[in-house]
Amino acid sequence: MAEWQFERWDRAHARGEFCCGKAPLDDFLRSLVSQYEKRKLGRTYIAVRPGEKRVIGYYTVASSCVPFANLPPGAAKKLPKHPVPTVLLGRLAVDQTAQGQGLGAELLIDALKRCLDLSQPLGIYAIEVHAIDRTAKVFYQKFGFVPLEDNDVHLYLPLATVEKAFAEKLRKK
C-alpha cells in the first residue's frame, strides 16, 4: 500500500497540527489556503496517508510569468523578448513527522507532472520557484532547477527538461 496519496485540498483536510518548521509555510496552510482557493490565486495539493485526512505535506501552484530580463543569457537568446509563461510552485512543505522520507521529492514530482499535463492545453515555458532558504534552493537544484538572473533563490526548470525526464522514466519501465 502507498505510504501517502495526493489530493486536491479541501476543508475536510486536517491542517491544524501541520508543522514543517518554517512559519510562513505553516501559516499559509493553517490560515490562508482557503482564501487562495476561494479567490483562485493558487491550487493546493496535499499529501495524506491512505484513509486519513491529516495533512503531512503540500504544494501550491499558480500561473505566473518570468520577465525576459530575468532569464539566463543562454535561454534568453532562444526566446522572444517578452515575459515568459510559467507555473509558479508557490510553496512546498513536509510536516516534521514525515521529513527525511522522500515525501518532498514525491510532492515535487507530482507538481511537475501536473505542470506537464497543463502544458498540453496551455503554453508553459517553465516551472519557477522562490526557494524559502538555501536548503530549499539546494533541494530544487538536485532536480535541475537553475537560478534566474534577478535573485539566486529564484529558480526555474524549463518544461522541456521535465518532458525529457518523464519520457526517460517511461522508457525505463
Q: What is the pLDDT of residues 6-44, one digit of tens each?
A: 999 999 999 999 999 999 999 999 999 999 999 999 999
Which residues constitute the domain of residue 20?
A: 5-172
The 10s digit of each residue's pLDDT in 49-91 is 999 999 999 999 999 999 999 998 888 888 889 999 999 999 9
Is 125 tagged catalytic?
no
Angle of helix 103-118 versus helix 159-172 axis, rounded to 10: 110
- Give pLDDT, residue 54: 96
Band (pLDDT 50/70/90 cuts) for residue 170 is low
- Given 36, 125, 140, 156, the catalytic residue: 140
The 10s digit of each residue's pLDDT in 82-138 is 999 999 999 999 999 999 999 999 999 999 999 999 988 999 999 999 999 999 999
Contacts of 12 (CB under 8 A, 6+ apart): 53
Cell of 105: 521529492
Looking at the 3D structure of the chain, how many domains does it have? 1
CATH of residue 126: 3.40.630.30
For residue 173, is pLDDT > 70? no
- Give pLDDT, residue 1: 43
